[in-house]
Chains A and B, each alone.
Chain A
Amino acid sequence: MSDTPAPTLLYCRCAYAQVVPSGVKNEVLSQLCASGTSFETVSDLCEMAAHRDPRLKALAACGRLRIAACYPRAVRGLFQQAGAPLAENAEILNMRTQTAAEITDAMLKS
């Protein structure tokens, strides 16, 4: 049995702009909801970064983080700009380019 703590799952809705395909983001959220696990959701990481929401620091500090959002380069940049750089081991899934199945598998893998 592994001693590694389960990652914190974070889902970004990208609700402030329609740049993430709605089919993908809806399906990913649907699969998270169908799973038995706890997860965090935010309306929009960009909006949070715009006003340096301290919640980003809390998220970045929570150990292993697995994020379903957009381009990893952008997501890391947003956290950094908000004064909450992500750890190297943070996993970022891109709902703009990956399929819902790929993202769901990666998010929910043990």
Chain B
Amino acid sequence: MIIHTHRPLRVVLYEGQGSIPLTPEARLQVISALLDKGYAVTRAAAGSSAMPHDERSLLVLGQFPDQKAPIIEDATGQVRIETRDISGLYVQAILGLVEKSRNGTPMNEPGRWKPWFPVIDYTRCTNCMQCLSFCLFDVYGVDENHKIQVQNNDNCKTNCPACSRVCPEVAIMFPKYQGGPINGDEVNQAEANREKIKVDISSLLGGDIYAALKDRSAAAKSRFSKERSPDKALDERKKCLTKLVGDGFIPADVLASLPTPDEILRKAEQAKAKAAAALAAQAE
């Protein structure tokens, strides 16, 4: 589950004036370990400037003369700055220092959640609203200018790239997906031309979805295909939804949102109406 708090801490590995640089090996170990725990780390070396700071707390790590970390205060008084000497410490001890400084403030950590959500390539998107019509989970919406945008990325179902399959312009990416062009790889002309055949969304929202949901064995036989077509997109939606309702893999609230075919169709109609309204507003 994602935690919607920003990085609580910026860690700076300070190796500038008044400090003793780490060896490259030690530097690599420290930075790797912190990154793999979810921290952002700045390496500040002598003679080159680091990024300006923001309002977050700042933890400065370094090897300081006499193993005494200097006391640093923010001139504006807005940023809490801590300094720690790491001379002679092993990586685990340094990690411990950082965790202690974070003091239990919530933070996302790798391994507990996968950042899975669509990313729109606006250089390709034509604002056709097919994605908005297709998605049953309210991931998409429109901004004040009736432009499609990803509004609720938490609603997106992990590992389900179904909406990218219905996009006629190959404009929807999932950066954590393995294959191209969904992963953001360049779109070749053949793929783009294939998508020019607009998908009839109503055909995707037919009453056979519920039957397919129940037919797990049929869905299990379907295989993820790189080929794009309305049928393939429908298959993928079925597969995705089947997976969602299967084996307790999904949270209870998702199960609750997919109880009946009527409900599925109602949500589909809602999404379709939202898309139609946005398209009508564009045309005005």
Binding site for B on A (CB under 8 A): 6, 8, 13, 15-17, 19, 26, 29-30, 32-34, 36-44, 46-51, 53-55, 58-59, 62, 70-78, 80-81, 96-97
Contact of A51 (CB < 8 Å), options: B4, B27, B40: B4
Asked whether, in the complex, the Cβ of A73 is within 8 Å of the Cβ of B186, the reply is: yes
Q: How far is the CB of B145 from chain A (nearest CB, A)?
A: 14
* A80 CA / B150 CA spacing, docked (Å): 11
Name the B residues within 8 Å of A75 (CB-CB).
175, 184
Residues of B within 8 A of A17 (CB): 114-115, 176
Interface assignment of B265: CB less than 8 Å from any CB of chain A: no
Please give the distance in Å from B166's CB to the nearest CB on chain A.
Answer: 18
Contact across chains for A77 and B39 when beta carbons are under 8 A apart = no
Within the assembled complex, what's the spacing in Å between the Cα atoms of A19 and B177? 8
Q: Which residues of A sit under 8 angstroms from B190, Cβ to Cβ?
A: none
Q: B50 within 8 Å of A by Cβ?
A: yes
B35 at the interface (CB under 8 A from A): yes
Q: Which of B117-125, B228-236, B256-264, B267-275 touches A?
A: B117-125
The smallest beta-carbon distance between A109 and chain B, in angstroms, is 14
**Does B108 sit within 8 A of A, measured CB to CB?**
yes
The interface residues of chain B lying within 8 Å CB-to-CB of A55 are 6-7, 10, 40, 54
Contacts of B40 in A (CB 8 A): 40-43, 55
Interface residues of B (CB under 8 A from A): 2-7, 10, 24, 27-28, 31-32, 35-52, 54, 108, 110-111, 113-115, 117, 119-122, 149-150, 153-154, 173, 175-178, 180, 183-186
Contacts of A26 in B (CB 8 A): 32
B35 touches A49 (CB 8 A): no
* 14 contacts across the A-B interface (CB closer than 8 A): A15-B110, A16-B115, A38-B48, A38-B49, A40-B43, A41-B40, A49-B115, A50-B154, A51-B4, A54-B54, A58-B51, A71-B183, A73-B185, A96-B183
4 closest Cβ pairs, A-B complex? A74-B184, A71-B184, A46-B115, A77-B119
Across-interface contacts of A38 in B (CB, < 8 A): 42-45, 48-50
Given A38-B42, A40-B42, A50-B117, CB of A77 within 8 Å of CB of B31 = no
Kindly provide the distance from the CB of B60 to the nearest chain A CB, expressed in whole angstroms: 14
